[in-house]
Amino acid sequence: MIEVTGLTKRFRQTLAVDDLSFTVSPGRITGFLGPNGAGKTTTMRLLLGLDRPTAGRATVNGLPFRELARPLTQVGALLDATAVQGGRRAEQHLRWLARSNGISRARIAGLLELVGLGHAAGKRVGGFSLGMKQRLGLAAALLGDPEVLVLDEPTNGLDPEGIRWMRGLLRSLAAEGRTVLVSSHLMSEMAVTADHLIVVAQGRLCADAGIAELVRPGTSLEDAFMDIIGRSAP
């Protein structure tokens, strides 16, 4: 469970996140949508303790990220898949992550298979495509078998087969009772992946509702999104 309450982040002149409150429940995929610069990444960074809020609070399983015991076993995150040191080999990267977080290495081989990188376990990450880096990032997020997953644009760089695979994986993770928060700017993808949507624009909450509630028969999620964003414009 993720809870965001009155969350606010100001960078000098920019109010990136503006008094945002929402809850992300377990057992379903919650899509996090918003136009460029809406504050999605900043919200996820605040949730993961990578930035400090100007005001308000974001918690995972009732606690701010920085207060979680063995955080990787509670929340798995994929923010910037390209941030991995290119000289490391895929398996080595996961082993390093496991060791530095006190997590068993037992799951590594299975996870590399699960994300479709079994054949590339010994290859250097520097030679990976963006899609392969996303897959490795997902394996890293799943390493601690966390109940909560926070994924920023995980389908970036994936080919159509990869996008379909990711959708299936996210669905099965949600079906296991996990909390899955996934940001995307791909409306058509979110329409077929998410059960619930949180829409933000200019740092503020514009919608927090089930897909069926937002997308009326005969309309698309894109129509609904444009309508919501249009209504929230100053």
Residues 180-199, interacting with ligand ATP (CB under 6 A): 185
Regarding 93 and contact with ligand ATP (CB under 6 A), the answer is: no
Distance CA 202, CA 14 (A): 10
- Report if residue 39 touches ligand ATP, rule: CB under 6 A: yes
Measure the CA–CA gap between 96 and 167, rounded to whole angstroms.
Answer: 28
Residue 29 touches ligand ATP, criterion: CB under 6 A: no
Please give the Cα distance from 134 to 115 (Å, whole number).
9
14 is an interface residue for ligand ATP by CB under 6 A: yes
Quick check: 34 binds ligand ATP (CB under 6 A)?
yes
Binding ligand ATP (rule: CB under 6 A), the pick from 1, 6, 11, 66 is 11
Our finding on whether 76 is near ligand ATP (CB under 6 A) is no
Among 6, 27, 37, 210, binds ligand ATP (CB under 6 A): 37
Part of the chain binding ligand ATP (CB under 6 A), chosen from 18-26, 30-38, 78-86, 224-232: 30-38
- Confirm if 213 and 203 have CB atoms less than 8 A apart: no
Contacting residues for 43 by C-beta, under 8 A, at least 6 apart: 4, 7, 9, 17, 20, 32, 58, 200
CA dist., res. 130 & res. 42, Å (int): 22
- Please say which residue, 47 or 103, places its beta carbon nearer to ligand ATP: 47
Nearer to ligand ATP, 111 or 190 (CB): 190
Q: For residues 47 and 64, what is the distance between their CA atoms, to the nearest angstrom?
A: 7
Tokens of 184: 């995307």
Residue numbers at the binding site for ligand ATP (CB under 6 A): 11, 14, 16, 34, 36-42, 185
